[in-house]
Chain A
Amino acid sequence: MENKITRESQMDMALSRARSENKPVLLDFFNPG
């Protein structure tokens, strides 16, 4: 099992993966502090 969340940083890539893997996107806005 993976020990961290696999994350994208660009919307285009996230939507491309969402279509190919048939999954919704979790858009996570964060403040690095």
Chain B
Amino acid sequence: MDTVSYPDKKVIEFINNSLISLRVRYDAQPMATDFNLKWTPTLIILDKEGKEHHRTVGFIPAEELIPSLLLGIAKVHFDLNEFKDALSRLEKILSDFPKSGSAPEAIYLKGVCLYKDTKNPKGLKEAYEQLQAKYPEGEWTKRAYPYRLL
């Protein structure tokens, strides 16, 4: 991460503008125990109260890091029922990083956000249709499978 992903100018700009970065050693206590740390690098997105909402374990290349962090920020807003704020981050992933590994989950979560925000199941069915078209064998397509019937 230190030699490839973190020196990337777009990554630096994104993290400094969008997040408060807190970096600690793998053996820093009590945090390593509190967060059940088992391997590095582990990146965790916390809300303003310190509650965990998203976690990745393992190296992430620069081109995947921003969409992964955007997904984490979206999950913070989703978990706090701030659906419009979540949607703006998810749509950013889909517009700017459509081929990223975070895109399928972003499509799924966007559908759920739309449903929870509007109570209209149309968003769920559209999520399934998009996932089926782009990732027919994908994990998130399988998770969305029931929504085909809506």
How many residue pairs link A and B with beta carbons under 8 A? The number is 122
Binding site for B on A (CB under 8 A): 1-11, 14-15, 17-19, 21-32
Most chain A CB inside 10 Å of its own CB: which residue of B12, B13, B21: B21
Name the prevailing secondary structure of the B interface residues: mixed
Query: B20, A26: Cβ atoms under 8 Å?
Result: yes
Query: A6, B21: Cβ atoms under 8 Å?
Result: yes
8 Å CB contact of A27 from B1, B13, B44, B48: B44
Whole-angstrom distance between the alpha carbons of A7 and B18 in the complex?
13
B46 contacts the other chain (CB 8 A) = yes
Question: Which residues in B have their C-beta under 8 angstroms from that of A25?
Answer: 19-22, 45-48, 50
Tell whether A26 pairs with B41 under 8 Å between CB atoms, given A11-B31, A15-B50. no
